[in-house]
Amino acid sequence: MDKIKKRNSRKKQSFPASALVSLLCLALAVGLVAALAALLDKQKTVDELIRQNYQLMEELEKEREEESLFGKEMDGSLEDGEGAQAGEPEGSQTQDMDEERAEGEEGLTDEASKEETPKEETTKEEPTAPPVLESLSGLAPGTVIREEQLDFSNLEKYFMSWEIEAGDNLYQRINGKSYRDNPYVPLSTLRYVKLPHYNFNGEIQVGELVVNQDILEDVKDIFMELFQAKYQIQSMYLIDNYWTGDPDTTDTASIDVNNTSAFCYREITGGGRLSNHAYGRAIDLNPQQNPYVSYSTGQPKWFHSNADAYIARDTGLPHVITHEDLAYKLFKEHGFSWGGDWNNPKDYQHFDKNNR
């Protein structure tokens, strides 16, 4: 009995302890499950957040792609940095060019600001002089050049001449116009001359002539002395610039614009024989102020109305050639005759030298 009691009593004593442990274990388990559930729930939330984040990122990416497709419209926003990454290579090239342009404009602005601030020390520097020319070969006839571009201590180098060869650029310019194949004037006797002269505005201008080799040195000397004296010649272009289709009306067109010229394969005015111009041995100088005047009827007759003021030769008007004129003196010194000394007609523009 005692044993049973003891057993019972032991039973009675141990039951509550083990139940308590079981309860504790259960509570722990429930707690763990709850915590786990909470954790799982949290993980869900985190996953959801990540998913939403990805979605947002995808949307952003989409927007950027759309922006790059309309890159040109984005140029404005590139300036403030927005969407800078959206620029494709094409866009970035544009940006580079803009930067270059901006640098250039910046340079200009700097120079302009120097000019606008005359009190600044920088204005004490002389403006950059244009380079002194070594020759006129690269300059087109009619080009105006500044005095400081010429080396006045060595002017000879600007009075240049070239032979003309069949097929070259100059030949192509004159062939079929002022020059034609003929039995009297071989191409090899002609020279192309380029030289500086003063125009009627007092500017230095590039002129050109074709002359015979026989008078080449005379022409260079005469025109260099005229240049040193700042003698004004309105223009000196090859007569081919005014080509109309025949030599006579071409001559008229050149005179109408007061152009000085030399070679043209043509007969004398009125016909009958070759003019000295056909050999390149005659030069017509400032023809408007120095017209061709016929006195066959006793009364002066002239063709060009722009010469009306220049029939009377003693008016003292500028560019009128008289016996006191420097051009007359220089041509005379070099053995030329002057058309103004003929009895009839009088050709005041005309100087020639016949070496034949």
Q: Report the interface residues with Zn ion, using CB under 5 A.
A: 282, 284, 350
Cβ proximity to Zn ion: between 78 and 239 the closer is 239
Cβ proximity to Zn ion: between 185 and 282 the closer is 282
Cβ proximity to Zn ion: between 149 and 252 the closer is 252
Nearest to 234 by CA among 259, 268, 254, 269: 259
From CA 96, how far away is CA 63, in angstroms rounded? 25
Q: Which residue has its beta carbon closest to Zn ion?
A: 350
Q: Shortest approach of Zn ion to residue 113 CB, angstroms?
A: 56
Q: Shortest approach of Zn ion to residue 329 CB, angstroms?
A: 19
Q: Shortest approach of Zn ion to residue 351 CB, angstroms?
A: 8
Cβ proximity to Zn ion: between 346 and 350 the closer is 350
Instruction: Say if residues 328 and 260 touch (Cβ distance below 8 Å).
Output: no
- Cα distances from 312 to residues 273, 316, 348, 355, in angstroms, run 29, 10, 11, 32
Q: Shortest approach of Zn ion to residue 350 CB, angstroms?
A: 4
From CA 308, how far away is CA 289, in angstroms rounded? 9
3-state secondary structure 64-118: HHHHHHCHHHHHHHHHCCCCHHHCCHHHHHHHHHHHHHHHHHHHHHHHHHHHHCC
Cβ proximity to Zn ion: between 54 and 342 the closer is 342
Cβ proximity to Zn ion: between 174 and 282 the closer is 282
Cβ proximity to Zn ion: between 150 and 222 the closer is 222
Q: How far is CA 132 from the centre of its chain?
A: 20
Q: Tokens 């201590």 sit at which residue?
A: 153
Q: Shortest approach of Zn ion to residue 313 CB, angstroms?
A: 17
Q: Shortest approach of Zn ion to residue 213 CB, angstroms?
A: 19
From CA 327, how far away is CA 283, in angstroms rounded? 11
Q: Shortest approach of Zn ion to residue 251 CB, angstroms?
A: 8
Q: Which H or E element spans position 206?
A: strand 204-212
Residues 6+ apart with CB under 8 A from 170: 162, 164, 192
Q: Counting Cβ atoms within 10 Å, is residue 167 exposed (0-12), middle (13-18) or buried (19+)? A: exposed
Q: Tokens 């500086």 sit at which residue?
A: 196
Cβ proximity to Zn ion: between 197 and 350 the closer is 350
Cβ proximity to Zn ion: between 161 and 337 the closer is 337
Q: Which H or E element spans position 33?
A: helix 2-69
Cα Rg of the chain (Å, integer): 49
Cβ proximity to Zn ion: between 150 and 307 the closer is 307
Q: Shortest approach of Zn ion to residue 287 CB, angstroms?
A: 8
- Cα distances from 203 to residues 131, 227, 231, 288, 356, in angstroms, run 18, 11, 11, 19, 37
Q: Shortest approach of Zn ion to residue 282 CB, angstroms?
A: 5
Q: Shortest approach of Zn ion to residue 292 CB, angstroms?
A: 8
Residues 6+ apart with CB under 8 A from 165: 171, 187
Copy the structure tokens of residue 17. 């302890």
